[in-house]
Amino acid sequence: MPQAEESLVGTDLPELNVEGWFNGEPVTNADLAGKVVFIDAWAFWCGPCRQLSPQLLELHAKYAPQGVKFIGLTTMDSKTLELSKDFIADEKLPWVQGYGAGEPLTALRANFIPQVWIVGRDGKILWDAYSEEQIEKVLDAALAGSSTNKTTGKAKTASSPAPAATL
């Protein structure tokens, strides 16, 4: 089982090298400089991803107007692009989606989905699946210009209530 030392909190967001973008304009790391970023890893076939959508939409409604940039990433590529687009449309997720995102998701250690990361204005990861802090507290602190994140010694897995239950 993974350990907390696998947490990426404090490390730089990897380059968002993806096959393409839909549901909005393409995004580069340079575009994200100075912004708080919410990244969601998903796949069209993922039941827990579908279950998480209402919570993601609530967070988006609360934090996007405050300037948080929401981005979805999937390893699914152009061969399944229509299925991915259908999933996003069905779930009514309004933010930009990167597909064929195997490279950044590997660098983010996305060993399960759904999975979420919060990135601070400095481009450093503030929250990941190993974080103890409630995600809203981290978002509030990041928007206020401070960081109060901690990590736990126990990994949260797809079968545990986290990360969805702690959003």
pLDDT tens, residue by residue, 82-107:
999 999 999 999 999 999 999 999 99
Which domains does the chain possess? Answer: 4-166 (3.40.30.10)
pLDDT tens track for 70-81: 999 999 999 999
Mean pLDDT of all residues in 152-165: 36
For residue 138, give every residue at least 6 positions away whose Cβ sits within 8 Å of its Cβ, in sequence order, or none. Answer: 118, 126, 127, 131, 147, 148, 149
**In 3D, which of 160, 131, 162, 167 has the Cα closest to residue 7?**
131
Top pLDDT among 165 and 32 is at 32
DSSP of 40-108: EE--TT-HHHHHHHHHHHHHHHHHGGGTPEEEEE-S--GGGHHHHHHHHHHHT--SEEEES-HHHHHHT
